Amino acid sequence: MKRSQAGRTALAAAIALGVFGIVGFALSWPLPLAGVMAVGAYGGSYLLAKPTQRIGKVRVDRLPGGTQLKELLLEAEEDMEALRRASREIAHIELRQEVRRLIGTGERILLYLGENPERIGSARRFFIYYLDTARNILEKYLNVQKSGLDTAEVRQVRQETIRVVPLLNEAFERQYTNLMSNELLAIEAEIKLLESTLKAEGGK
């Protein structure tokens, strides 16, 4: 049982015992009725003690498909942790550097989505395809590395991985740019407004 669930259970049980003691003994109500009220108190307090799930500052239940979006983020964090493990274990220096660059972009994407959960739906392809593909490729590469083999086939896999990870970096950065499109357009609009304002004031 998870710690938070155990805490909820203990709190609900304590409240139920308190209700039973007050109603059954302090108020001298019939014990069966006190038992019923204690059970109700247990159920109610257990439900009320349930922690509110959030993505950033937004409650999950206030987002369309919020539960699925939360699951996407949790799975993405698992994939990111797999990339972090790979970056610590990969022996090839250049590949390790590319993986760390991949992790940096991925972490910025997750941070942005945590602050803007309404945009998570726009990142489904990043979650379901690009991030998952990066994890699969690197985990398979590590298996090959751990084998200790140095055959022509192994060398080819190594070179293909070194070639494809920079492409994944480009895909990650493109996904991040797409997510930031609204902010980028807003900045461009602000700059154009500033330039036109300065031009108009300079012409007076």
Contact between 133 and 168 under an 8 Å Cβ cutoff? The reply is yes
User: 28 with 90, same domain?
Assistant: no
pLDDT computed for residue 81 by the predictor:
95
Taking residues 132-155, what's their average pLDDT?
91
Q: Which of 1-10, 36-45, 150-159 has the lowest mean pLDDT?
A: 1-10
As a whole number, the mean pLDDT across the chain is 81
Cα–Cα distance for residue pair 177/174, rounded to 1 Å:
5
- What is the model's pLDDT at position 200? 81
Are 32 and 70 in a shared domain?
no
Nearest to 154 by CA among 166, 172, 142, 164: 142
Q: 154: which strand partners?
A: none
Report the share of the chain in percent with pLDDT over 90: 35
Q: Is the pLDDT assigned to residue 7 strictly greater than 70?
A: no
Establish if 197 belongs to a structural domain.
no
Average pLDDT over residues 128-145: 93
3-state secondary structure (DSSP) of residue 181: helix
Question: Residues 96, 139: one domain?
Answer: yes
Predicted confidence at residue 105, as pLDDT, reads 95
pLDDT digits (tens, 9 = 90+) for 18-74: 766 786 677 777 777 767 776 776 666 655 545 556 666 667 556 666 677 788 888
DSSP E strands in the chain: the ranges are 54-55, 58-59
Total structural domains within the chain: 2
- The better pLDDT of the pair 60, 159 is held by 159
Full domain range(s) for residue 181: 64-192
Please give the residue that has the higher pLDDT: either 126 or 6: 126
**Is residue 201 a part of any domain in this protein?**
no
Same domain, 160 and 129: yes
- Asked if 175 and 128 sit in the same domain, the reply is yes
User: Is the per-residue pLDDT at 150 higher than 90?
Assistant: no
CATH code, domain carrying 169: 1.20.5
Residue 203 lies in a domain: no
CA distance 173 to 166: 11
pLDDT-derived band at 142, boundaries 50, 70, 90: very high
For the packed helices 181-202 and 152-179, what is the interaxial angle rounded to 10 degrees? Answer: 50
Q: What is the pLDDT of residue 190?
A: 83
pTM of the model: 0.67
